[in-house]
Structures are given as C-alpha cells and as structure tokens.
Structure 1
C-alpha cells in the first residue's frame, strides 16, 4: 500500500485528493456475506425471466443511443412511488450514488458546502470531495439520534448549500421523523439549502413510518432519493432515482452525461418494476429476519438499534474486531464500521441469519458473556 501511495503521489493529483482512500468494504470470498446490505435472497425467478426477455427485446437496437430522457422508466417510477408524483418529477442514474453526485454537481461545487450528520453514509464526504464541495460534519446525540431542534440549529449556524439526511440512517438503521426534515428545510431557507432525504432503505421501514415523499408538495428545494439496489435486489444493475420539483430535474439535465442510462439498464429496471410483487414478498421476509436479529441480540445482552432498514447496528461488544474475525472464521462477514463497541449486520435469509446468530452466541459465550451452549 505504501508503494502504491508513493506511485500515486508522483502524479499531478489534485491536492485535496492526496492521502484519500477509495470507498469500499472488504471483498472477500465468504459463503455468507452480510456486510454491504445487499438483498441476499437474490432475484426471484419470474423477475429474472422478465429481465432476460426485456433485455432481449432491446438487444437488436443497441447500435442506437438509448432514450436520453428514459421516459417510460420515469413514468413507471412515478406510478410505483405514488403520492401524486408525475414523470417530470422523477430522475434516475446509475445507482443512487450517481444521483447524489449529480445533485452536488448542480448545487454544490467550489465555494459551496454540504452538511452531513455522522455517523451516516460514508459516501457523502467522498462525493463532496469529488465535486469540490466542502463537507461539513454535524453532530448527533449520544444515542446517534437527531432531533428537529438540533438539526435545524446546526443548519442555521452553518448555512450549508446542501444538507444530507439519511433516513433510515446508514449505519444505524433508524428513520428520521418528518418533523426533522421539515425543520431542516425551514432552517435552510436563508441559505437556500437543497435538502436531500436519502431513503435507500425506505421499503424496509416499519409500518407507519412516513416517507419524506409526503413533504414534496410546495417544497422546491427538497429531494428524496431512492435505489433499486436493496428492495429490488438489483445492486448489480445500478439504478438509483429521485423525486423532486420539476425545476430540480431540469437542473440535473445540465450536468448529466449524454445518454447516461443504457438501454439495458432501462429495460432491466422496467422489468423489475412490473414484477415487483415477488420482490416485495422478499422484503417482508427480510424484515422478519431483521426483527429476529434485534430480538436475539437483546437476549444476548447486546444493544441493537431499532432498525427501519435491512440491517441491524448493534453495540455492547468488548472487542468488535475479535467478534468480526470469529464470524469470518465461520464463513460469515459483517461490517466493522469503526464505531467503538459496535458492528453492523445485514438481515439475510433465514439460514444465513441462523448461522450468524449461532456463531455470535458461541463467541460471546467464549468471552464469558453468556453460558456455554
């Protein structure tokens, strides 16, 4: 790594990129991968068949550029989200990271700032750096919560141009109340802040958890981002999207690359959306396994966060790295996110969840935390 860094530093790299590390969790060949919040159930057979047929139908026209405005896909996404949204309020790109990047290209940049509230999604500062946007770090409560009063006060004090609100938050998994979003939006009036509510895990939220989509009417600076990587099991297809006022969509057209969504990507997403009942059935099973993990971790004397996502963040570990290694030895990889005493685990299939829980219990028992099994 030192040699690689030395070679990199010989290049005329931008000063603000020197010493930076690329985003990425460990990519290890492990039987049970519960570290990057993928949908481990896979793509249902009927959705696979629909995708194959959809791709076949466009394959003959790949010599032509795709629909630059991905009109049919925007219609379909608007229909899926509901809330009275229309196609002119929808935008999509290659994963929600590209969606966020385009927002920063349009509303961030040199001389402008973006505010996040760590611990939160670790791509926010990297996307800010890549677009020349100053990244400001807000603060959360000791339990990693974020109140409307605290968030609004920080927005007023820092006057950012862009605010990231991750809900459900990654890595903690907890959703924000809409009062937080509304308070941040009002507090950002003075700086005309674009407020992004990142709802990548929205489909996994508990019943009664409201989406920020309900706040869009009358709020032209509010953007709600989503992804098809999680609930739709399409992490490998790369399709993220957002809902916002039509003028926001017009702004993003100024910075997007020409024909940025391939015909194959559009066809894949449309096929998945038209067969979403199978995928939503998987979501319900994932939620059951998530809630099972929370219950079992509490029984083991650990402290899991209440999760509205497809993963569980938990604290109370004396040596997280030791537990991480012990799980890895059993063929299970989870995520060490660098927060003392904690780990994060994706809710997998019933079998994957069982292997994780049984191995974790063995490791805790070996530490004297639990009776030996």
Structure 2
C-alpha cells in the first residue's frame, strides 16, 4: 500500500474547480457581478458581530429561524404552503447535494443524470460510493423524455439529479418532464437543482409548484447566484418533511456556523434589494443571445445567468484568445462549446469585442 492510503478510485484524480485567474473580466463561474450594497454589508456586519459574541457556544444545529425565513422566501419565489419543516440548509448547494447522496445513495444504489450537466454530480456519487448512471440529452440539450423514462425504469436509481436550468447549457425543464420522472422513479428521490432558478424567463415555472404533487421531489436552491452571496456558502432545499428528517441523520453536528446563519438571515431581510439586479442580468443575457446568434454562432436557449455557445473547431484556441485579451470564460461540456457568465454592461462589451477580435483573427488566418 502506498502512502497516503487513498481509495483506489481516487488515485490520480485532480480536484474539481474552474480556473481562478487574475484578469480584468471574469465571466467563468456564473457569479452575480453586482456586490451587495453598503446597507446590506452593514446589516451583515452587524449580524455577524452579534453572532461573534456567542462564538463560545455551538450554533443552532436545527437552523430553526433560518429555515423559517427560507420557507417564507420560497413561498414568494414559486412555492406555496412550504413550511420550515420542509426546508433544509447547508454550506452551499454542493453540501446539500452531498447530504442527499449520503442519505439516499451508497453502495448497492445508483444515481442518475443526463449529460451534458454539472460536472460535480458524478463526484457526489463517487464520494458516497454510489453507482453513477449517465444518460444523454437531445441535440438541443432538452430531455428526450421517453428515453429518459426508460433509462429510469431500467436502472431504478435511488437518486435522480435534474438541474433546471441545466449547467452548462442553461436549459430549463418543463413541468411535465419532472412529473414523468417523479412517477417513473417510484420511491427514488428526484432532485431538481434550481441553483439558477431566479433567472428563469417569464413563463418558465419553478419545480416548487410541483412539491405538493410528488412526495419524492426535492427542489434545491442557493444564495450564491441571484443573491450575490457566493462567498457566504449557503444552499438549501425544499422537500417532504420525511426527506428533511432523513438528511438530518447524516448531517455533521453543527454543520452550519453561527456566522453563516447570521449572514444568510441578514441577506434574506434584504432579498428584494439583492435580487434587484436579476432583471438587469436577464436583459443582458437575452441581448447577448441575440448578438451571438446574429454573428452566426449556435446558442442554447438560456434560463440562467450564463450563455452556452459554439460551435468552434478549436474551442480552446478561442478560450485562450479571449484570456489573452483579459476575458476569462469557461471550457465545459461537449467539445466545441463555451460558456460565458453574464456580467455588467462594461464586462459584456469587453467580451463582445474580444470575441470579435479572436474570431475575426481566426477567419483571417484560415483564409491566409
């Protein structure tokens, strides 16, 4: 045995993570580009200061106040009648997902999703020793629903992971797709990951509306994106109370610090202000989609705060050309495609100009 005695399936693997580079325009990790206002910062600072005076004691391990305020928010953001007992929170939606796999996955069980999708999903399965089953999306990145249903019936996964909007493509799921897979899953848990749910286009419903109909449905959200709190690390879910109680069995004691809880509660007091830029980002996104299509690029419809576009014979060359011009985006998903986060008007102008320069240069070199 070599040292350290790492699990065999982890040997040689690199940790997950997007490049963190110091460049003028960072559009690669789907952050909200607008920081909290001075008023929000002051409230968070005061709340954290109050929490700091109690740091000799453990925090509320059941997150009573936070779960109540999150339920209130969800009932104003697509849900109805959600109670605090139906809500759970953790350190980012990543930990929420991991807890779900710890509770409902494991040896002899499987988790299923449809590629291209969030690259961390198979890692949650790997880390919990859950068999990973991967279906494929249609050419337009939607779900081939009959094929998806057959795959679920064939493998009978204990957990199905369905991001909506999907990362990296931005594709949202229609309610009938969620209902079909909830019914096909039987007693399996169907997780609809709405990390970007607040950015959905008008007319695109939230899966929260379906919670009363499906006891096996879980809807996850995060404060990292629309709430502009990526640095706070607060993710949460809404589900049947039996699911929340099961997660409490596997969560670590006092997993959510008093500082994190205080920060999240302060942010929820300012929800309207923090979400005030969502409409601006939607508008920038839609204008970017139109502009990219106008230049002849293939672009996936997006309900998120990012845009997936292609197709490039050498996407890495385009990515590198943009980086050379001070613009960082993301190489992710199928070859030929790139993902760009929606930023401020100035950042989007810089991206547009850099892309024109890179693609024009590429065309000129081909003609030469």
TM-score of Structure 1 vs Structure 2, range by shorter chain: over 0.9
Q: Residue 77 in 1 paired to residue 70 in 2?
A: yes
Q: TM-score, normalised by structure 2?
A: 0.95
Q: Residue 179 in 1 paired to residue 210 in 2?
A: no
Contact 2:116–2:333 (Cα < 8 Å) also in 1: no
Q: Residue 101 in 1 paired to residue 98 in 2?
A: yes
Provide the residue aligned with 1:146 in structure 2.
143
Supply the distance in 2 between the matched residues of 1:164 and 1:13 (Cα, whole angstroms): 27
Deviation per CA, 1:12-46, whole angstroms, max 9, x where unpaired? 11122123221101111111110011111122222
After superposition, the CA RMSD in angstroms is: 1.5
Provide the residue aligned with 2:132 in structure 1.
135
Supply the distance in 1 between the matched residues of 2:176 and 2:14 (Cα, whole angstroms): 35
Of 60, 67, 84, the residue aligned with 1:87 is 84
Structure 2: runs of 5+ lacking an equivalent: none
Of 189, 194, 200, the residue aligned with 2:189 is 194
Deviation per CA, 1:120-149, whole angstroms, max 9, x where unpaired? 000000111111111111111122210332
Provide the residue aligned with 2:295 in structure 1.
300
Moved over 6 A (4+): none
Structure 1: runs of 5+ lacking an equivalent: 1-7
Supply the distance in 1 between the matched residues of 2:237 and 2:46 (Cα, whole angstroms): 26
Secondary structure at 1:197 match in 2: strand
For residue 72 of structure 1, report the CA deviation from its aligned partner.
Answer: 0.7
Secondary structure at 1:85 match in 2: coil
Contact 1:300–1:361 (Cα < 8 Å) also in 2: no
Provide the residue aligned with 2:36 in structure 1.
43
For residue 259 of structure 1, report the CA deviation from its aligned partner.
Answer: 0.6
For residue 338 of structure 1, report the CA deviation from its aligned partner.
Answer: 4.7
Contact 2:141–2:171 (Cα < 8 Å) also in 1: no
For residue 368 of structure 1, report the CA deviation from its aligned partner.
Answer: 2.6
Supply the distance in 1 between the matched residues of 2:266 and 2:60 (Cα, whole angstroms): 16
For residue 9 of structure 1, report the CA deviation from its aligned partner.
Answer: 5.7
Supply the distance in 2 between the matched residues of 1:284 and 1:243 (Cα, whole angstroms): 24
For residue 346 of structure 1, report the CA deviation from its aligned partner.
Answer: 0.1
**Count of residue pairs the alignment pairs up:** 361
Provide the residue aligned with 1:119 in structure 2.
116
Contact 2:89–2:234 (Cα < 8 Å) also in 1: yes
Contact 2:285–2:306 (Cα < 8 Å) also in 1: yes
Secondary structure at 1:200 match in 2: coil
Supply the distance in 2 between the matched residues of 1:9 and 1:298 (Cα, whole angstroms): 53
